[in-house]
Structure 1
Amino acid sequence: MSVFASSLIFIIFKLFSRYNVDTFQAIIINYIIACTSGILAYTSPIKIDTIINANWLYSAMALGVIFILIFNLMAITTQKNGLSVAAVASKMSIAIPVLFGIIVYQESTGFLKLSGILIALVAVYMTAMKTAGGVSIKKENLIFPILVFLGSGIIDTSLKFLETNYVVDNDVPIFSATIFGFAAVIGIFILSYKAITGTLKLSFKNILAGIALGIPNYFSIYFLIQALKNEHMDSATVFTINNVSILLVSTLVGVLFFKEVLFLKNWIGIILAIISIIMVAFTI
């Protein structure tokens, strides 16, 4: 379900460019909708003092800030280095939570599983790099993909750490809502500043796009956390299968519905992605 929701996000983003949606405005509305979705999904009575005293509150606030920062960094990376570089930097970040799970939580390792993870990293690079050549990055722009790589990895690693130590099953919706809520607050401040300076042109199209994005965005996090709580799968398995599957589904959707052209190495990457998923899943 997390893969499905995340892949749906990809489709919606692709439609943004087709209908000239203001991405930043839609992202802010998306955070508001995602926060609202979490509140509605929370079955217990919402008590502000309980949330304020929750062990995960400050971490959720920090993640909300990181969500906004990474979004902007991905936009800058795309502008400076190209979409392929941004995609590779984001998806290759699975190495961080995978290593964290193996080192900190001493998750199971074996030749088949480790080989599958390494193949997954190769598959991510080859599938995401939709250019005839390889990666070409100017030294002065290298910092941006590095920050995207680190930031994306920190988000996934933090979700695993908080899920393991602080977030009980019933708190998953309100925990997710809090993350999106703080991201929304920061975004609203930015939009307010633009409104004051006269640079804001809010349109119904952007609001509608944000609503369409917010619901699957919430469920992509919600179901990822639920998957991490599955006692039959460790985090290395979950993150590898989740990230590689998202890239695989997104690429195939791009080919089938958006007429994207793939190079030979992209098809090889798709084959490797399927092999890596089978290898990692086989070790569950």
Structure 2
Amino acid sequence: MIALALSILSSTLIFVVFKLYDTYRVQTLYAIVVNYMVACITGFFLYEGTVDIGQLFNASWFWGPILMGMLFITIFNLMAKTAQVAGVSVASVATKMSLVIPVIVGIWLFDERLTFIQIIGIVLALVAVYLASLKQKHLVINRQTLLLPFLVFLGSGIIDTSIKYFEELHLTDAEVPLFSSMVFGCAALTGILFIGIRTKSTPLKVNFKNILGGIALGVPNYFSIYFLIRALRTDMLSSAAIFTLNNVAIVMLSTLVGIVLFKERLSLKNWSGVALAVVSIVLVALF
């Protein structure tokens, strides 16, 4: 449970850093790439063994970080596009609702069992995520823009499911830091390639705000994945319960941090979502 709590805290810190980007006018894309580099370096520092390139190529999980790294950058850009076209609430709901995918896969592929009360808790968690993430009076998705949030939903769910898959079937405890590091390293390389393509039309200028913003984001970003994998490796809860608790607790804590630090105002629906989040956490964790 400590690992899960630290993962939730790290993910909430990511939210805080993103909010500060607006305040200090940090260019998100460039900071994101720097963040992935920092997260990659952090993982290599935590890895206690010797990094052997030949052994990495032969590792059963080697191809995983490559695909996941590409997904990280792709989903980030899709989230940004969704927020611009359909609204921030739509992007937020699509991202967090994706917890359904690893929950279903955990039950189907890994034969996990949930009690009836836990199932009720998961359903309430989905409602809580929707209500707490809703920053507009009405969530309206036009048919023309339906594809974007669906891709965000699908991609976010695939990332979480992939983490569970490699943790369950391919990773040892000692390899967790290295695996996490490589995921972020591959994301950084993909981001650099993407920026390189963009700079053909728009020259790249070094901005120290972007670099500092990336450093501030990179460390909690790394630990959000690292501690999530650690939590999945414990036998206290099923992966379905862990993904539910992780997502709904992040939404709840981020919402409360927004109120305290950034003076955000919540609607009645938002407060209802926070209340339901508490109930769902109790049902999933204690029953």
Q: Which TM bucket (shorter chain)?
A: over 0.9
Which residue is equivalent to 1:94? 99
**What amino acid sits opposite 2:124 in the alignment?**
I
Q: Does 1:234 align with 2:238?
A: yes
User: 1:196 Cα deviation (Å)?
Assistant: 4.4
Q: Secondary structure at the match of 1:280?
A: helix
Q: Pick from 182, 186, 190: which aligns with 1:178?
A: 182
1:210 and 2:229 correspond? no
Could you tell me which residue of structure 2 aligns to residue 9 of structure 1?
Answer: 14
* 2:142 equivalent among 138, 144, 168: 138
Q: Cα deviations across residues 123-149 of structure 1 (Å, max 9, x unaligned)? A: 00011011122x101111110000000
Q: CA deviation at 1:175?
A: 0.3
CA distance in 1, matches of 2:27, 2:82: 18
CA shift for structure 1 position 226: 0.3
SS of aligned partner of 1:121: helix
The answer for the alignment partner of 1:169 in structure 2 is 173
Q: Deviations over 1:216-269 (max 9, x none)?
A: 000000000000001111101110110000000000011111111111011011
Give the 3 Å change call, closer, same or farther, for CA 83–47 of structure 1 in structure 2.
same
SS at match of 1:240: helix
Assess if the C-alpha contact under 8 Å between 1:25 and 1:202 holds in 2: no
Tell which deviates more after alignment, 49-58 or 183-192: 183-192
User: Is 1:22 the counterpart of 2:22 in the alignment?
Assistant: no
Q: Is the 8 A contact 1:8 1:216 kept in 2?
A: yes
Equivalent in the alignment of 1:265? 269
* Residue 202 (structure 1) shift: 2.3
Structure 1: gaps spanning 5 or more residues: none
The residue type equivalent to 1:100 in the other structure is: V
| Identity among equivalent pairs (%) | 49
Structure-1 separation of matches of 2:144 and 2:198: 29
Alignment of 1:98-177 (within 5 A): 98-133=103-138, 135-177=139-181
Partner of 2:226: 222
State yes or no: 1:254 paired with 2:258. Answer: yes
Superposition TM-score, scaled by structure 2 size: 0.96
CA distance in 2, matches of 1:27, 1:202: 14
Deviations 1:161-203 (A, max 9, x none): 1100001110001101111111111111223334444432220
Q: Does 1:60 align with 2:65?
A: yes
On the 8 A contact 1:131/1:263 being kept in 2, the answer is: no
Asked whether 1:31 is paired with 2:44, we answer no
**Aligned AA (2:101):** I
Go from structure 1 to structure 2 and tell me whether the alpha carbon gap of 1:193 and 1:273 turns closer, same or farther (over 3 Å shift). same
Rounded Cα–Cα distance in structure 2 between residues aligned with 1:20 and 1:45: 40
**Paired residue secondary structure (1:250):** helix
Q: Tell me the amino acid that sits aligned with residue 154 of structure 1.
A: I
Q: Which amino acid aligns with 1:234?
A: S
- The count of aligned residue pairs is 282
Mapping 1:64-83, distance limit 5 Å: 64-83=69-88
User: Equivalents in 1 of 2:145, 2:241: separation in Å?
Assistant: 32
The code of the aligned residue for 1:185 comes to L
Instruction: Measure, in 1, the Cα distance between the counterparts of 2:186 and 2:285.
Output: 35
Report the residue type matching 2:263 in the other structure: K
